[in-house]
With several copies, the nearest count.
Chain A
């Protein structure tokens, strides 16, 4: 794992490794908040981002890493002048499904809203099963957000 700064001249990168224990998603959520505040995002958008980041980390901990103590979650936060990108990768002990079920599973405490929040709260999102194993969620928010039409129609992508 290298810690060299990103190739881009105007980007700054933070790398975080979390244990696969529920609750630690808040570390990534708080870290994203610190960077987004420094970048000047509005409080509303920061709240949206915090939920998306927490949900992506929870999924990595719970599903991708099966809460396995030896697996870790890698969170990369890359701040550029006009956007903040956050990628959350797990070790893929459970691979991401090709399609996500309809949100809300009655009878199971209506779980299943995480992916729905992730795809609706950030400007762009991409789900990938990594070639060397592991699942990754890449989320981007822009300081100048795209129009609503763009946001809702083009952001969600299933794993390739």
Chain B
């Protein structure tokens, strides 16, 4: 029972990952293929869009940690936006908040990415 794919968009040196409604172990495959496309395109900023997400389990959060680790090691700056307050709390509990910056929305990410490009 999977629920949607991760999609990617590129705008200059900014890469966006649009997460689906459910972020679980089943999200792994499309998350990595979308991320790999952005990595190949050598984006300098990675933005994780959780606007559509309303269910994230521990496997989904583990997946986000893996993506953020990879992006950080490759020298990318990572943003997240659209996170419901419960998931901000969980991200904080697992230490993700120290490895990414929250943005209010896509517009703010674009402004900040421009500073990083």
User: Which residues of chain A have a CB within 8 Å of any CB of chain B?
Assistant: 21-23, 25-26, 38, 44, 47-48, 51, 54-55, 58, 103-106, 109-114, 116-117, 120
Contact = CB atoms under 8 A, between A and B. Distances in A.
A109 B90 contact: no
Interface string B23-58: 011101000000000000000000000000001011
B82 interface: no
B7 interface: no
Given A110-B61, A113-B94, A117-B93, 8 more contacts: A51-B90, A104-B62, A106-B66, A109-B28, A109-B66, A110-B63, A113-B58, A116-B93
B86 A23 contact: no
Contacts of A21: 1
* Interface bracket on B: 20 to 34
B28 A26 contact: no
Q: Is the interface of B mostly helix, strand, loop or mixed?
A: helix
B86 A55 contact: no
Interface of B: 1, 3, 24-26, 28, 55, 57-59, 61-63, 65-66, 69, 85-86, 89-90, 93-94
A120 B28 contact: no
Contacts of B93: 116-117, 120
A110 B62 contact: yes
Contacts of B63: 109-110
A52 to B, nearest CB: 10
A109 B68 CA distance: 11
Nearest to A40: B3
A47 B3 contact: no
A51 B94 contact: no
Contacts of B59: 58, 109, 111, 114
Contact of B58 (A22, A26, A44, A117): A117
Nearest to B56: A51
Contacts of A113: 58, 61-62, 94
Given A103-B94, A104-B94, A111 B58 contact: yes
Contact of B90 (A26, A105, A117): A117
A38 B3 contact: yes
The 7 closest A-B pairs by CB, nearest first: A23-B1, A110-B62, A47-B86, A113-B58, A110-B65, A114-B58, A38-B1
27 contacts: A23-B1, A25-B57, A38-B3, A47-B86, A51-B86, A55-B57, A55-B58, A58-B59, A104-B62, A104-B65, A105-B62, A109-B28, A109-B66, A110-B63, A110-B65, A110-B69, A111-B25, A111-B58, A113-B58, A113-B61, A113-B62, A113-B94, A114-B57, A116-B94, A117-B58, A117-B93, A120-B93
